[in-house]
């Protein structure tokens, strides 16, 4: 699977390789299939701001603070509507860093760059490697509450941005820094099985 522009919904939700052509939006979402079609008077201030940000900028980042042992996380709302690209979730990033990385990804995708899913990626997080891994739809829906609301409880694809420790090791690799696994809960169906790094 490749995270890219203009992926048909069925392809973006699958685990096959997807190549999408820049310049064509084939996600097929109309405003009335999202909250963009809602009367602003029926929305609370948070909802109005989210809808307006997606309308003005194509996306919005949302951050949820840590809760007990659960780490903080940030995610996008609008990538699927604006780019026909999966929404993105990342754990334990500072708010500004998450927003900046999501913005960088949005600009790269909008320019036609394809970001491979399940492979090491360079050039998104300054000087660091990342992986984008498919998130289980149920896990994503439980975490991305604003996105679920925005898409009116319809299915939408999501990938998890996974980052490495200071030594460049990912949570599934031997020797990874203690605690990194707890900071990045695995939202995949396969428990990161088969990843070599």
Say what the pTM is: 0.86
Give the model's pLDDT for residue 131. 95
Phi and psi at residue 148, in whole multiples of 5°? -60, -45
Residue 32 counted as domain residue? yes
Q: What is the pLDDT of residues 116-128, one digit of tens each?
A: 999 999 888 888 9
**Which residues are paired to 46 by β-bridges?**
none
Q: Helix or strand or coil: residue 123?
A: strand
Domain count, the chain: 1
Give alpha helix (H) positions in 22-158: 45-57, 79-83, 95-110, 137-143, 145-150
Q: Within a domain: residue 120?
A: yes
Residue 170 and residue 121 in contact, taking contact as beta carbons nearer than 8 Å: no
Range of the domain at 72: 2-183
Residue 93 lies in a domain: yes
Residue 166 belongs to a domain: yes
Q: Is the pLDDT of residue 196 over 70?
A: no
Confidence of residue 178 (pLDDT cuts 50, 70, 90): confident
Residues 6+ apart with CB under 8 A from 94: none
- In terms of Cβ atoms closer than 10 Å to its own Cβ (0-12, 13-18, 19+), residue 176 is middle
């Amino acid at each position: 699977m490749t995270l890219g522009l203009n992926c048909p919904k069925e392809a973006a939700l699958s685990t096959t390789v997807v190549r999408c052509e820049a310049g064509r939006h084939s996600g097929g979402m109309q405003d009335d299939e999202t909250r963009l079609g809602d009367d602003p008077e029926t929305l609370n201030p948070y909802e109005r701001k989210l809808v307006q940000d997606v309308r003005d900028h194509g996306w919005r980042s949302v951050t949820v603070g840590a809760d007990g042992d659960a780490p903080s996380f940030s995610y996008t709302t609008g990538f699927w509507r604006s780019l026909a690209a999966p929404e993105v979730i990342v754990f334990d990033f500072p708010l500004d860093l998450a927003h900046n990385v999501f913005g960088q990804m949005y600009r790269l995708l909008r320019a036609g760059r394809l970001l491979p899913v399940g492979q090491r990626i360079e050039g998104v997080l300054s000087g660091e490697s990342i992986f984008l891994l498919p998130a289980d739809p149920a896990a994503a829906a439980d975490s991305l509450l604003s996105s679920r609301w925005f898409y009116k409880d319809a299915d939408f694809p999501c990938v998890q941005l996974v980052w490495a420790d200071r030594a460049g090791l990912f949570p599934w690799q031997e020797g990874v820094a203690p605690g990194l696994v707890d900071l990045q809960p695995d939202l995949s169906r396969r428990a990161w099985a088969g990843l070599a790094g």
